[in-house]
Structures are given as structure tokens and as C-alpha cells.
Amino acid sequence: MANETLQGARPAIHEPSCRSFQDIVELVGRRWTSAILLAGRRGARRFGEYRGSVPGISDRLLAQRLKELEAEGLITRTVIPSTPVQIRYALSPDGEELMRILQPLVDWGYRRGGPHEDRSAGTV
């Protein structure tokens, strides 16, 4: 009975707000995704620039993640009709907003220290 009262007072994890939180954490936490967003925030525009900014990622996985981020509305893809055709990527306004929102999380991580601490990285 106490369990029922507790559940009635707080939303269950399947509530829309909790599901939304879980979805975005999983998206951002997907391997390479945050590094790709960071590369875009730091000025990568062409596929090769992203590849150079995200060491260790394969071309296939980078292309897949860029498509996923475009489908999520976090990256825009522009085709420039030239010879050869050029493809440019950029953070969308939602992608820029997400990176601003993530900055306090980065700051929190720096305050905690840890094995991946690199204070030269600065901001996202």
C-alpha cells in the first residue's frame, strides 16, 4: 500500500517527461555522438573535417551518426551543386541549444575530476 502511495505521488519512469529524458540521454550517450556534436560546435563542416576531429571513428559509422543527427534535427545537411558535389554539415539551432544545455554537465564533470579530465578542452 505504501508503494502505491509513493507511485501515485511521483510520475512513473514511463511517463512522457521521463521517457523524453531517457531518449535524449540515450541519443547523446550513443558512441561518437557527443564527439560529432562537439566537432560541429568547434567548426567542422565537411565530412573529412568531422573525421579528423573524431579520431578512431570509421567512415561508415560517421556517415550513420550524421544521418541520425540530421533525422533528429540536431545537424543540418546542405548539398552544394558543384563539380564535385559538396556536402556541408552544421549544427542546427536545436543542436546549438543542446550543446549550450550540456555545458553545465561538462562543468560538473570537471569539478568531479576523473580519468578523462582534460582542462584544456574548455567548453563544449
Show the cell assigned to 6: 509513493
- Structural domain harbouring 99: 14-108
- Cα(23)–Cα(41) distance, integer angstroms: 22
**Farthest-apart Cα atoms in the chain, separation:** 70
Contact predicate 91/99, CB 8 Å: yes
According to the model, what pLDDT value does residue 31 have? Answer: 93
Asked if residue 55 lies in contact with residue 1, where contact means CB atoms within 8 angstroms, the answer is no
Report the alpha-carbon distance of residue 91 to residue 44 in Å, rounded. Answer: 9
Please check whether residue 6 lies inside any domain of the structure: no
Is residue 93 one of the residues assigned to a domain? yes
Q: What is the pLDDT of residue 17?
A: 74
Whether 79 is covered by a domain: the verdict is: yes
CA distance 51 to 53: 5
Could you tell me the pTM of the whole model?
A: 0.76
Q: What pLDDT, on the 0 to 100 scale, is given for residue 79?
A: 97
Tell whether 23 is covered by a domain.
yes
Residue 46 sits in a domain of what CATH number? Answer: 1.10.10.10
Check residue 3 and give its pLDDT. 47
Closest CA to 37 of 85, 105, 112: 105
pLDDT of residue 19: 82
Count of structural domains, the chain:
1
**Average confidence (pLDDT) per 10 residues, the chain, 124 residues:** 52 74 88 95 96 96 97 97 95 96 89 65 58
Is position 118 within any domain?
A: no
| 71 located within any domain | yes
